[in-house]
């Protein structure tokens, strides 16, 4: 831990966290963050906070919203426990059964489709952005999905891509494969894209593409406005969902959430594009280096 300019920061395994209690308490609660951002006219997904045990009430809200829906813990990080595209009562029940012993409250949101991005700000200014792709493998017509995952883990380690976040087969991977009619033992045709998770978090095996130079002026302005609501967030990771691929055209988008302790490894070792030294930019900001 270190103190700079009256604020305290913790540094741990690629994460940096501002620990001012007022901001942390709000950002831990995704619903509170959504309400505050919405009040500032920043586009956010429609959503409600509900007790995970109130399954009947949740189902009523789902019926009013219509499928697909997203369900996730009201507090959490790394994409853990996030079910972004539930399209049936059975899938909602499975998500709630999984979450009932892990959280007291869930956030029920409209399910957004499009292109998921993480935008990093330092001292309120955008400095880096990555398009995030869900964990995946490409079929080769010979090896099982399990073997393809093992091969990809080795490749990621060799290339220093998310070294501490190896892909692994867990309940979320099993669920994603099941939705595609597959199992870890399945062999798929060469070139077929197999999505291993429904979220695109780098901490759960996602992949990053540097799009810093592709962001439109309106996107940068909206992200910086969102972060300005919490002025003590010297470093922030803003999750954004674009309607269209930001590498090729500008489009409408919504701010999903703000992360007070964003991982920065993905900007050093992107799967595609140049590396950005976010840590150096942060240190320069903290110590007033011009």
For 27-85, what is the HEC assignment?
A: HHCHHHHHHHHHHCCCCCCCEEEEECCCHHHHHHHHHHHCCCEEEEECCCCCCCCCEEE
Residue 261 DSSP symbol: S
| Rounded Cα–Cα distance for residues 226 and 239 (Å) | 11
**Would the pTM of this model clear 0.75, i.e. be above it?**
yes
Task: Look at strands 105-110 and 69-73 and give their pairing.
Answer: antiparallel
Q: Any residues with CB less than 8 A from the CB of 281 and at least 6 apart, and which?
A: 122, 127
* Confidence label for 261 from pLDDT (cuts 50, 70 and 90): confident
Q: What is the pLDDT of residues 169-214, one digit of tens each?
A: 988 899 889 989 999 999 999 999 999 987 777 777 888 899 999 9
Q: Which two tokens stand for residue 205?
A: 């095996």
| Rounded Cα–Cα distance for residues 64 and 58 (Å) | 10
* Confidence label for 6 from pLDDT (cuts 50, 70 and 90): very low
- Beta pairing partners, 33: none
Of 109, 112, 110, 106, nearest in space to 49 by CA: 106
Residue 78, phi-psi category: left (phi > 0), alpha (psi -120 to 50), beta (remainder): left
The pLDDT value given to residue 166 = 64
Of 180, 217, 218, 172, nearest in space to 198 by CA: 172
Q: How many other C-beta atoms can be found within 10 angstroms of the C-beta atom of residue 275?
A: 12
* Confidence label for 11 from pLDDT (cuts 50, 70 and 90): very low
Q: Which two tokens stand for residue 34?
A: 């959504």
Mean pLDDT over 240-252 rounds to 89
The pLDDT value given to residue 15 = 47
Q: Is residue 142 pLDDT above 60, yes or no?
A: yes
Expressed in angstroms, the distance from the first to the final Cα of the chain is: 24
Mean pLDDT over 28-42 rounds to 90
């Amino acid at each position: 831990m270190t103190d700079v300019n009256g604020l305290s920061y913790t540094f741990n395994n690629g994460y940096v966290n501002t620990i001012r209690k007022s901001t942390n308490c709000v950002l831990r609660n995704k619903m509170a963050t959504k309400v505050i951002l919405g009040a500032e006219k920043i586009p956010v997904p429609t959503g409600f906070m509900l007790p995970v045990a109130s399954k009947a009430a949740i189902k009523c809200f789902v019926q009013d919203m219509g499928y697909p829906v997203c369900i996730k813990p009201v507090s959490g990080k790394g994409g853990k426990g996030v079910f972004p595209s539930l399209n049936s009562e059975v899938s909602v029940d499975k998500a709630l059964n999984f979450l009932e012993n892990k959280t007291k409250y869930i956030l029920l949101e409209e399910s957004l489709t499009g292109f998921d991005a993480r935008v990093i700000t330092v001292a309120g200014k955008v400095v880096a952005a990555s398009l995030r792709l869900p964990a995946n493998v490409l079929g080769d017509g010979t090896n099982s999905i399990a073997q393809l995952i093992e091969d990809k883990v080795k490749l990621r380690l060799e290339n220093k891509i998310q070294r501490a976040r190896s892909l692994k087969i867990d309940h979320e991977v099993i669920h994603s494969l099941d939705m595609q009619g597959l199992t870890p033992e399945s062999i798929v045709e060469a070139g077929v894209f197999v999505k291993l998770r429904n979220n695109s978090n780098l901490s759960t095996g996602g992949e990053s593409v540097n799009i810093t130079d592709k962001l439109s002026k309106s996107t940068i302005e909206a992200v910086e406005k969102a972060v300005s609501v919490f002025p003590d967030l010297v470093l922030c990771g803003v999750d954004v969902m674009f309607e269209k691929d930001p590498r090729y055209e500008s489009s409408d988008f919504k701010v999903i959430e703000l992360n007070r302790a964003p991982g920065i490894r993905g900007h050093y070792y992107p799967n595609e594009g140049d590396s950005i030294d976010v840590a150096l930019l942060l240190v320069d900001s903290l110590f007033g280096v011009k």
